[in-house]
Amino acid sequence: MSNNTLFTPFKNKGLSLTNRIVMAPMTRQFSPNGVPTSDVAGYYRRRAEGGTGLIITEGTTVNDKVATMGATIPRFHGDDALVGWQQVVDEVHNADGKIMPQLWHVGMARVAENAPFPELPSAGPSGLFKPGKQGAEPMTVAHIESVIEAFAKAAADAKRIGMDGVEIHGAHGYLVDQFFWEGTNQRTDSWGGNMENRGRFAVEIIKAIRAATSPDFPIVLRYSQWKQQDYTARLAQTPQELEQFLHPLSEAGVDIFHCSQRRYWESEFDGSELNLAGWTKKITGKSTITVGSVGLNDDFFGAFKGEDSNTRSVDDLLERLGAGEFDLVAVGRALLQDPSWANKIKEGRTDELEQYSGKSLGSLS
């Protein structure tokens, strides 16, 4: 299968890429006190040198005391952290790469005693980690509004230091997704209830980011049906419900939807072979990123346990990309293992692709 479609240029507003390969965000926890180091900068630079078109950083937290799960997860606030991120931007740009931060608030996924400010309770729309598991009081409206402002400030700082856009982490059962998911959003005010109200938190974040940056600054939203709390959870059971979910987000200003699946080759709804990114593009007309075990046979949950995974052909991926089902392809573990994955694919050196090893999580290779 020709890989030409994977190595065609892509443009969306102020974002111009030389190919369709995106480095998926992967939490690494190598930033002491939340500050990215020169090792972090080198880690991202090597992926740019290896041919990756766009790098989306690991989740980096906005300015809220309970936004993070750990002291070595990077943050995107404070002069010291932003100086670290400036070094990352410079290294990637010097290697002719493009990069944007994934802005993150972990919500009720935070375990207070293991995180900074352990005396403070974690935050969620209804204080639920998952349906029926209460961990805190519901967020106040004032707290909700302050977190929206924190996302906007982080985006403005990203633009100021030269990032090529921002991604909002709205997937996998973290704070934004906890608002989306009816199972964790049991509010009875205008931030909960029907799907439109449950999406309001994200809509207001998107609008605030747009107001704090510029019309041509790319905004990416990552979302998922599944949650870390429940792999079978679904925000939308039908294409019609997915349209109801996506339309306000698209109208608010999302430029690219990053559609997270555990396995990209799985169809989203019965009666169609389209995956989640395919359906999202069909419904919104916006560009989409597909993600989920690209280049590997097993989904990524085993990776967290240090398990290895065998390489998988990308022929079907190339066929679907060429057919226009989605626009960009996010690669996670394969790129974590092998910084030159993109160049090896481009040059036909598939026999040189490295098999993913769980040991790669132990360092910034």
Position 306 scores a pLDDT of: 46
Position 318 scores a pLDDT of: 85
- The tens digit of pLDDT for each residue in 36-80 reads 999 999 999 999 999 999 999 999 999 999 999 999 999 999 999
Position 355 scores a pLDDT of: 82
Determine whether 231 is an active site residue: no
In this prediction, residue 312 has a pLDDT band, given cuts at 50, 70 and 90, of low
Catalytically annotated residue among 174, 223, 264, 356: 174
Of residues 297, 294, 237, 247, the one with CA closest to residue 268: 237
| Predicted model pTM | 0.94
Residues 6+ apart with CB under 8 A from 119: 112
Give the burial string for 270-280 (b: 16+ CB within 10 Å, else e).
eeeebbbbbbb
- The tens digit of pLDDT for each residue in 198-207 reads 999 999 999 9
Please state the rounded mean pLDDT for residues 260-272: 91
Is pLDDT at 297 greater than 60 in this prediction? Answer: no
Q: Which helix (H) or strand (E) holds 94?
A: helix 79-94
Position 20 scores a pLDDT of: 96
Position 358 scores a pLDDT of: 81
